[in-house]
Structure 1
Amino acid sequence: MEKKKVLIVDDQNGIRILLMEVFNSEGYATFQAANGKLALDIVRSESPDLVLLDMKIPGMDGLEILKHLKEINPAIKVIMMTAYGELDMIKEATKLGALMHFTKPFDIDEMRIAVNMHLNNKSIDQCS
């Protein structure tokens, strides 16, 4: 079976590296992008199954990137990452089709469980 693909889009290098390590160790193929243009190129070339998308990215912001992602692939799964109480943006992201959001600093285990759940269509149960 082919590995599921996860794309991490965040302008903070440390977060991308952390999340790539976590999801590589979960057995996913991971890709990373520091900006929207690169993220969309990767979506076109690699068709990731799930995107972890930061809301605040210089240049093209998370909502704009989300709109483009859904144009390229309406079925793509997107989880937003947000830094502050960006409630309006979160509501907008949900309208645009984001599955859920995590507020930074997020609990890496909760993130891992959520990604596994969405990629394997399982209900949330603690898989150790």
Structure 2
Amino acid sequence: MEEKKVLIVDDQNGIRILLMEVFGSEGYKTFQAANGKLALEIVRNDSPDLVLLDMKIPGMDGLEILKHIKAVNPEIKVIMMTAYGELDMIKQATELGALMHFTKPFDIDEMRMAVNNQLKGKAVM
């Protein structure tokens, strides 16, 4: 079975490193991007199976990036990461095809389970 690929898009280095460690140890191939431009290059070149996408990124925001990801490949699964209180943006993200969102600071185990459920096709426990 081919290794599943997870792209982490966040302008905070600490969050990218943490999530890369978590999902790397789950057996996924991880990619990271600090901005939309780089994220979309990775989407085009490596077609990740799932993208963890921060809503607030300088330059191109999460919604903009989400639109571009879905334009490149609608099959790519996207989970948003948001700051508290971005409800209107969350609604838009869902309409654009995001599966779910986690509010920061998120529970890393919950996020790990959600990603595993999406990528390993397991029913949610």
TM range (shorter): over 0.9
Distance 1:20 1:124 in 2: 22
The letter for the 2-side match of 1:42 is: I
TM-score normalised per structure 1: 0.97
Amino acid at match of 1:18: L
Alignment deviations for residues 8-42 of structure 1 (CA, whole Å, 9 cap, x no partner): 00000000000000000000000000000000000
Q: Which runs of 4+ in 1 moved over 4 A?
A: none
Residue 74 of structure 1 and its aligned partner are, at CA, apart by: 0.7
Q: Does 1:67 align with 2:67?
A: yes
Task: Give unpaired runs (5+ residues) of structure 1.
Answer: none
Superposition deviation, residue 121 in structure 1: 1.4
Distance 1:92 1:8 in 2: 20
Distance in 2 (CA, whole Å) between partners of 1:115 and 1:7 is 11
Please tell me the root mean square deviation across aligned C-alpha atoms, in Å.
0.5
Aligned to 1:98: 98
Gaps of 5+ in 2: none
Per the normalisation by structure 2, the TM-score is 0.99
Q: How many pairs align?
A: 125
**SS of residue matched to 2:78:** strand
- 1:78 is aligned to 78
Counterparts of residues 10-21 of structure 1 (less than 5 Å): 10-21=10-21
Instruction: State the secondary structure of the residue aligned to 2:32.
Output: strand
Q: Deviations over 1:80-122 (max 9, x none)?
A: 0001210100000000000000000000000000000000111
Alignment-derived partner of residue 26 in structure 2: 26
Residue 45 (structure 1) aligns with: 45
- Equivalent position SS for 2:101: strand
Question: Aligned partners of 1:90 and 1:121: how far apart in 2?
Answer: 24
* Distance of 2:124 and 2:95 partners within structure 1: 23
